[in-house]
Amino acid sequence: MDAIETIMTTRAIRRYTDDPVTDEEIQTCLRAAQQGPSGGNVQPQQYVVLTEAEPKAAVAEWYRTAFDRYERSLPDPTEFRDEAQAASWRRTRDASRHLADHLQDAPAVVLFLQPLIPWTPSDDQGEMDIGRLDASVYPAVQNFCLAARALGIGTAVTTVIRIHTAEVFEALGIPDGRFEIAALVPMGRPAGNFGVAPRKPAAAVTHWNRWGDKRRD
């Protein structure tokens, strides 16, 4: 696929067919993830790939529990700009609910872990803010999703599982106190279609040379 088309049509896919995703396809996506940039080329991430029913079911149960709690915290969306915005919000909510109820059926689920390591250098002037460690993990996550899209596989970046990190680590035998979850990414062939997701126009949020100087697209 053309790279720009791949990027433009990569969006959250949360409903999958029963068609399998092969280990080779997952490995291709993981190689693409590994090519992502990281601060000082530290490459901090580890991946935990779930393809077997038992670990997927264990993680899916904690995902559902986490999502149930998160969903209850959502504000009542009574005030939308227009019906289109309200409909878009409802679609995302319904698809997210569907994923929470069916994660165990996704052909594969990949956990992106980042280590709990100090990431703030200091000198005689004090600590230096060089950005957060997760900034070195999310490029890998997005590369993974883009590679999957190029193979016709849908993905969704998710993080609510962090609410139950300890339980997931115990279920999968991940050592305690060494990692946190950067993302949980289910993958499978889309039950619907890939498409270009609605976004703000780039021109609306782009400033040329000085703040406030915007151009029309």
Least distance from C-beta 19 to ligand FMN, angstroms? 20
The structure tokens listed for 213 are 């100087």
Residue closer to ligand FMN, measured from CB, 9 or 28: 9
Cα dist from 67 to 36, 72, 101, 150, 167, whole Å: 29, 8, 9, 29, 14
How many Å apart are CA 169 and CA 177, to the nearest integer? 10
Residue closer to ligand FMN, measured from CB, 51 or 134: 134
SS3 category, 152:
coil
Least distance from C-beta 20 to ligand FMN, angstroms? 22
DSSP code at position 117: -
Residue closer to ligand FMN, measured from CB, 96 or 143: 96
Least distance from C-beta 15 to ligand FMN, angstroms? 11
Q: Which residues pair with 125 in a beta bridge?
A: none
Per CB under 6 A, residues contacting ligand FMN are: 11-12, 14, 92, 96, 99, 156-160, 197
Kindly report the CA angle at 27 between 109 and 95, in degrees rounded to 5? 30
Least distance from C-beta 157 to ligand FMN, angstroms? 4
Residue closer to ligand FMN, measured from CB, 32 or 99: 99
